[in-house]
Amino acid sequence: MDVTSTPYAEGRILEFEKEERIATHLLESFPYDGPRQKILYETREFSAVCPYSGLPDYAYLAIEYIPDRAVVELKSLKYYIVSFRNVGIYQEHATKRLYNDLSALLKPSSLCVKTVYNTRGGIDATCEIRSDAQQPRSHGPDGG
């Protein structure tokens, strides 16, 4: 390999789908009529594609909500989450899209969507949107 020549990967971007390919239509819910309870769904299998590089972003995803009248059906949620896999969407926008879609479907009493992305370029990225007044906390090295 000639180290003075331009690398093959330099400037290349892998192909990805547009945001319209996110399968919101797959989301289903069922009626809930019970006591106030917190529901938490977690997965370490969330992925989407960085539209800048075309490379995959992997994240831990947490969806926490208090239902009002509906609960999301888990199989439909899994298919919906997997539909992000080949979509080019920035991390912050993916979190917002998850939040908006689930909020529209469920109309919950409260909702929090949090994504914790794998380290990239030495930077850790955590995105969180909450429906309540509580603000996200900083998790710096000093704990504050």
Strands 56-66 and 123-130: unpaired
CATH architecture of residue range(s) 21-130: 2-Layer Sandwich (3.30)
Q: Measure the CA angle with vertex 58, ends 89 and 85; round to 5°.
A: 55
The catalytic residue among 2, 50, 68, 112 is 50
Helix (H) or strand (E) holding 5, with range, is none
Spot the catalytic one: 57, 112, 124, 142: 57
pTM of the model: 0.85
Whether residue 50 lies in the annotated active site: yes
pLDDT tens for the 144 residues of the chain, in order: 555 666 767 777 778 999 999 999 999 999 999 999 999 999 999 999 999 888 899 999 999 999 999 999 999 999 999 999 999 999 999 999 999 999 999 999 999 999 999 998 899 999 999 997 555 555 555 544
